């Protein structure tokens, strides 16, 4: 069968392509800055935002973007106070998931749409959602390009950057806001529980394969894109979950990169 004969498959490839490039690019800095757990917390906060939005009758994606960007900015403003506090972030993560479940239990409409955010729904991307992802993707990548120089400086040499007058807190806040946008897009494809699949797996593998910054970012985006498209293709012909295949491919690529690194 020709999978591109179906409109929903074409939209799935376009949507996953946009999200994969964004997730790989933003995720590269997320891994480099050792803030992956904060990214995971934002994914669970996004679930609460989606179900809360469904409860009050607005599109879940609106709740996801609003809540995650607000939470990301708050994390960035806390700065060093949040560093190393895995317990605090873990509690926020658990409470957010609890609120999400509560909002979902109180929702009488759009519950299926909100629930799909937990596991991903790439095959159910509508034309409106595709356009929304395109706008969010372009916005995120443009903003990342604007802050890339101070972001690299503050990540690799934070003491020197601060001595030069660069506000580490401002850069951190802006970056976590971008992470929140990337999370909001990623959960449309792989769901809340598997955000790490696109935002951590490919960037981590890229950093094992090369130490060059520009090459690493490009490689992370390409790996995420390949995993997303190959996962959708395999899922189409096997009838197994798309998110499952993307997760398996992400893990396999990372293990392969680790083996090559050792050799």
- Residue 26 token pair: 């933003």
Domains and CATH numbers, the chain: 3-193 (1.10.3470.10)
Mean pLDDT of 132-153: 93
Q: Where is pLDDT greater, at 38 or 113?
A: 38
Mean pLDDT of 219-239: 93
Mean pLDDT of 202-221: 94
Q: Where is pLDDT greater, at 20 or 41?
A: 20
Among the listed residues 3, 15, 27, the one whose alpha carbon sits nearest the alpha carbon of residue 198 = 27
Residues 42, 54: Cα–Cα separation, whole Å? 18
Q: Phi/psi class of residue 110: alpha, beta or left (left: φ > 0; alpha: ψ in -120 to 50)?
A: left
Residues 177, 116: Cα–Cα separation, whole Å? 23
- Residue 194 token pair: 């598997």
- pTM for this model (two decimals): 0.86
Residues 116, 146: Cα–Cα separation, whole Å? 33
Q: Is the dihedral of CA 96, 184, 189, 229 positive or negative?
A: negative
Task: Write out pLDDT tens, residues 44-91.
Answer: 788 888 888 878 878 878 888 888 888 887 777 766 555 555 666 667
Residues 4, 199: Cα–Cα separation, whole Å? 26
Query: In the prediction, which pLDDT does 229 show?
Result: 95
Task: Write out pLDDT tens, residues 96-138.
Answer: 778 877 887 777 655 565 556 666 778 888 899 899 999 999 9
């Amino acid at each position: 069968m020709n999978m591109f004969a179906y409109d929903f498959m074409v939209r799935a490839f376009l949507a996953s392509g946009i999200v994969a490039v964004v997730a790989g690019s933003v995720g590269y800095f997320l891994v480099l800055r050792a803030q992956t757990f904060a990214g995971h917390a934002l994914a669970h906060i996004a679930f609460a935002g989606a179900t809360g939005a469904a409860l009050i009758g607005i599109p879940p994606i609106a709740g996801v973007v609003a809540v995650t960007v607000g939470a990301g900015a708050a994390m960035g403003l806390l700065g060093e106070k949040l560093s190393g506090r895995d317990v605090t972030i873990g509690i926020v993560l658990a409470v957010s998931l609890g609120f999400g479940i509560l909002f979902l239990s109180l929702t009488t409409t759009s519950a299926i749409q909100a629930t799909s955010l937990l596991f991903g729904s790439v095959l159910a991307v509508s034309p409106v959602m595709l356009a929304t992802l395109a706008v969010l993707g372009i916005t995120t990548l443009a903003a990342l390009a604007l802050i890339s120089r101070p972001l690299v400086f503050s990540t690799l040499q934070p003491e020197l950057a601060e001595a030069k007058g660069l506000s580490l807190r401002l850069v951190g806040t802006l970056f976590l806001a971008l992470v929140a946008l990337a999370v909001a897009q990623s959960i449309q494809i792989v769901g809340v529980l598997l955000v790490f699949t696109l935002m951590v797996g490919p960037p981590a593998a890229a950093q094992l394969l090369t130490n060059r910054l520009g090459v690493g970012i490009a490689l992370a985006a390409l790996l995420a894109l390949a995993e997303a498209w190959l996962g959708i293709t395999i899922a189409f012909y096997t009838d197994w979950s798309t998110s499952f295949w993307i997760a398996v491919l992400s893990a396999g690529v990372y293990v392969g990169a680790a083996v090559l690194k050792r050799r």
